[in-house]
Structure 1
Amino acid sequence: MEHNGADSHDGRYPGPPVPTDVLISFHAGHLDPAFADHVREVTADDPGAQRILAALDATNADLVSLRDEEVPIPPDVRARMLDTIGRFHTD
């Protein structure tokens, strides 16, 4: 994985502050185990990284809570959709 920012002592992984794109990949579980362990270690005492990870947790929780909620289509949007579909409908 490409990364920006300061490098760790061995130069393989970013040091603090960990770039946001790396935190997003870490949160999503898309880092290899060694890289994830490194990010977990260097972010443990980084308030900025912890805020970003907490925001990602909150966003996921919000999305999960909406999973089964029916959201009505606003009437103007519905009308435009039906108009568009009607233009493609042929008998």
Structure 2
Amino acid sequence: MGINGFERPRDGYPTPPFSTDLLVDFHSGLLDPDVAEHVRVGVADDPDAQRILAALDATTEDLASLRGEEIPIPPDVRARMLRVIGESGTD
């Protein structure tokens, strides 16, 4: 049986190098607590995993900085959206 869709080695935990998908689940808090702790310990000795987690942290910060910021819709996109809405009718 897998851990969040990942293969389990004999001891029941994923082994380094951890896949990007597993690290994304770890970063998102989706792993079982015991598996997350195992990954947390393994990441300490894995520079590649640390780089992936740092990139995920940076992405999360970038997205959080956009909250509440009003970003205008480009005029050509707005025109296409309005055209599609107008063509769809109101059934």
Output the TM-score relative to the length of structure 1: 0.87
2:21 match: 21
Match of 1:68 in 2: 68
Segments of structure 2 that go 5 or more residues without pairing to the other structure are none
Q: Offset at 1:45? A: 1.5
How many residues matched?
Answer: 87
Whichever residue aligns with residue 67 of structure 1, its letter is R
* 1:89 Cα deviation from its structure 2 partner: 3.4
Q: Name the amino acid aligned to 1:49.
A: A
Taking the aligned partners of 2:13 and 2:20, their CA distance within structure 1 comes to 14
User: 1:84 offset after TM fit, Å?
Assistant: 1.0
Q: Partner residue of 1:31? A: 31
Provide the residue aligned with 1:2 in structure 2: 5
Q: CA-to-partner distance for each residue in 1:7-36, whole Å, 9 max, x for gaps? A: 4xx531111101111100000000011000
With the length of structure 2 as denominator, give the TM-score of the two structures.
0.87
Gaps of 5+ in 1: none
Question: Kindly, what percent of the aligned residue pairs are identical?
Answer: 61
What RMSD, in angstroms, separates the aligned Cα atoms of the two structures?
1.6
